[in-house]
């Protein structure tokens, strides 16, 4: 069983049904199957062979869906860049994965063959048309053969490189195999509260190059329609729900927070919505209760990571209802292990803990990734005896509900995006006025957590908060940049002279029941 077979079957079953809607564009199942086959053949005709990487950078558009389908058919590896990456970050990713082809679309960071790291790219294509060194994406498809490709992937064949910044600020790529991706799809389909059917419509608001994109293949498998949004505007989304008859939606908690703050929510018609799934960051229990009351009893959530390919635990709609009625403490839970996944909470000796004791969350299953691309040392740190060590501290109650408590490392999750403090600190240190910098998370009503910099300036220097924020935004993606800056005379150190990040962070979390938000 392959993704190519699933799509070919869907084209036979629901050929004229829309597979993707975007603005006024409709891509039917038959068109998606045909175009992705032609694209797969066209890429192979360029001389690419199985396992070669194809890089993509674009905001949400139908082409991203057909590119993923084409790469699955051809046995090529998808290397997706966040459309919000700066040129510097894009160069880091390309230098890391050495793609032979680069496909760009709306929102991409402009670069050419002469840009740092791009010397490995043999072919550039632009979705919106050709310019400079870029070939036309549509011309590439038009030149592809229509014959099906005889490729049956093995479970360990590499399918996707999922990029994020490492704990040292260095770009790292999680290797997700075809077996990982198929296991992920099985879990998502089996775990749905209200399984999608032909005619249902899934709203994808976040970047489909990242977490939202994990829902594409499961919903295509079921014959539903993917409705792509280029960006999230609460009032616009609320108006589109009844107009487009949206039935399913995935959001990060920050989006739900913005919906709750939107005045038109009070009069919005959301009766067609069957499920609102949320994840990628923890959500405050008070906001969950408010969303249940004001949006509807349709919430479900999951916890996962790029290293686990998909969701690991799930708090279903029924779990939400039970928590609200009889177990309010469970609103702080991320649910119980789902599908084939095994979940344990262990101490420093690797022994499973009990009775609400806090330990590290470790997981095992068919969707646990293959390791980090080109980083065997880092891989061996997180994959130990078949178990993925997540770095998240958690506890589990007598009924098996998991509660995230803190992160073993200092990663910040803001609006569903991972931010690593050392990367932001390294950027701050590029400013001539900054003597010391400590980047931490602070609670944020909208984003869950926001990025704060606590800075000590060199004597006699007078950089302002707005100046430092602007300095960062010019060099790293905006979601990584500090939203606020506090100034101190000196930052605290531990006994060995290292920056005491937890001491800096603690004052901003006084009174919080957990150290994630």
304-328 confidence digits (pLDDT tens): 988 999 899 999 999 999 999 999 9
Q: Which domains does the chain have, with CATH numbers?
A: 1-19+29-153 (3.40.50.980), 178-409 (3.40.50.12780), 412-506 (3.30.300.30)
- Say if residue 22's pLDDT is above 70: yes
Strands 484-487 and 448-457 turn out to be parallel
- pLDDT at residue number 494: 64
- Say if residue 20's pLDDT is above 80: yes
Cβ-contact 353, 345 below 8 angstroms: yes
Question: Which region, left, alpha or beta, applies to residue 269 given φ > 0 means left and ψ of -120 to 50 means alpha?
Answer: beta
- pLDDT at residue number 413: 85
- Say if residue 513's pLDDT is above 50: yes
368-411 confidence digits (pLDDT tens): 999 999 999 999 999 999 999 999 889 999 999 999 887 777 78
- Say if residue 143's pLDDT is above 60: yes
- Residue whose C-alpha is closest to residue 62's, from 233, 246, 226, 245: 226
Question: Which region, left, alpha or beta, applies to residue 92 given φ > 0 means left and ψ of -120 to 50 means alpha?
Answer: alpha
Distance CA 29, CA 362 (A): 39
- pLDDT at residue number 339: 87
- pLDDT at residue number 167: 46
Indicate the pTM of the whole model. Answer: 0.86
Give the CB-side neighbour count of residue 351, counting CA atoms within 13 A: 4
- The CA angle 23-28-31, to the nearest 5 degrees, is 115
- pLDDT at residue number 217: 97
- pLDDT at residue number 88: 83
The percentage of the chain sitting over the pLDDT mark of 70, rounded to a whole number, equals 96
| Residue 391 Cα to chain centre, angstroms | 17
- Say if residue 169's pLDDT is above 60: no
- pLDDT at residue number 381: 94
248-261 confidence digits (pLDDT tens): 999 988 889 889 98
Cβ-contact 479, 419 below 8 angstroms: yes
């Amino acid at each position: 069983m392959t993704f190519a077979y699933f799509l070919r079957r869907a084209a036979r079953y629901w050929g004229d049904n829309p597979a993707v809607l975007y603005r006024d564009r409709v891509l039917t199942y038959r068109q998606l199957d045909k175009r992705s086959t032609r694209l797969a053949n066209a890429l192979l005709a360029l001389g690419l062979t199985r396992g070669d990487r194809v890089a993509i950078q674009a905001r949400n558009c139908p082409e991203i869906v057909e590119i993923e389908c084409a790469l699955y058919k051809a046995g090529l590896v998808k290397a997706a860049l966040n459309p919000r990456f700066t040129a510097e970050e894009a160069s880091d990713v390309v230098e890391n994965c050495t793609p032979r082809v680069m496909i760009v679309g709306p929102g991409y960071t402009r670069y050419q063959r002469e840009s740092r790291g791009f010397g490995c790219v043999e072919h550039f294509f632009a979705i919106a048309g050709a310019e400079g060194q870029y070939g036309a994406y549509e011309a590439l498809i038009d030149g592809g053969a229509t014959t099906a490709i005889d490729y049956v992937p093995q479970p360990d064949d590499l399918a996707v490189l999922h990029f994020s910044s490492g704990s040292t600020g260095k770009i790292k790529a999680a290797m997700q195999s075809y077996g990982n991706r198929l296991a992920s799809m099985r879990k998502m389909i089996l775990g749905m509260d209200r399984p999608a059917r032909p005619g249902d419509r899934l709203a994808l608001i976040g970047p489909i190059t990242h977490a939202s994109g994990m829902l594409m293949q499961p919903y295509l498998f079921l014959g539903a329609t993917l409705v792509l949004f280029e960006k999230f505007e609460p009032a616009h989304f609320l108006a589109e729900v009844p107009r487009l008859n949206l039935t399913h939606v995935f959001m990060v908690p920050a989006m739900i927070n913005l919906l709750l703050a939107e005045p038109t929510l009070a009069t919005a018609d959301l009766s067609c919505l069957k499920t609102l799934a949320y994840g990628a960051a923890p959500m405050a229990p008070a906001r969950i209760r408010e969303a249940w009351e004001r949006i509807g009893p349709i919430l479900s959530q999951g916890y996962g990571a790029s290293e686990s390919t998909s969701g690991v635990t799930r708090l279903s709609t029924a779990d939400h209802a039970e928590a609200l009625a009889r177990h309010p403490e469970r609103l702080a839970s991320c649910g119980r292990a789902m599908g084939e996944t095994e979940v344990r909470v262990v101490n420093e000796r690797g022994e499973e803990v009990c009775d609400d004791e806090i330990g590290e969350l470790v997981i095992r299953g068919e969707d646990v990734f293959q390791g980090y691309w080109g980083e065997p040392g880092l891989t061996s740190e997180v994959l130990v005896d078949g178990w993925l060590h997540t770095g998240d501290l958690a506890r589990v109650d007598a009924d098996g509900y998991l509660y995230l408590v803190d992160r073993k490392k200092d990663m910040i999750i803001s609006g569903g995006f991972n931010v690593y403090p050392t990367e932001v600190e390294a950027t701050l240190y590029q400013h001539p006025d900054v003597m010391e910098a400590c980047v931490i998370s602070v609670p944020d009503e909208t984003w869950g957590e926001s990025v704060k910099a606590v800075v000590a300036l060199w004597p006699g220097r007078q950089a302002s908060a707005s100046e430092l924020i602007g300095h960062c935004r010019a060099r790293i993606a905006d979601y990584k940049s500090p939203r606020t800056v506090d100034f101190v005379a000196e930052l605290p150190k531990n006994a060995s002279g290292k920056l005491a990040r937890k001491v800096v962070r603690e004052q901003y979390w006084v009174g919080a029941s957990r150290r994630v938000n």
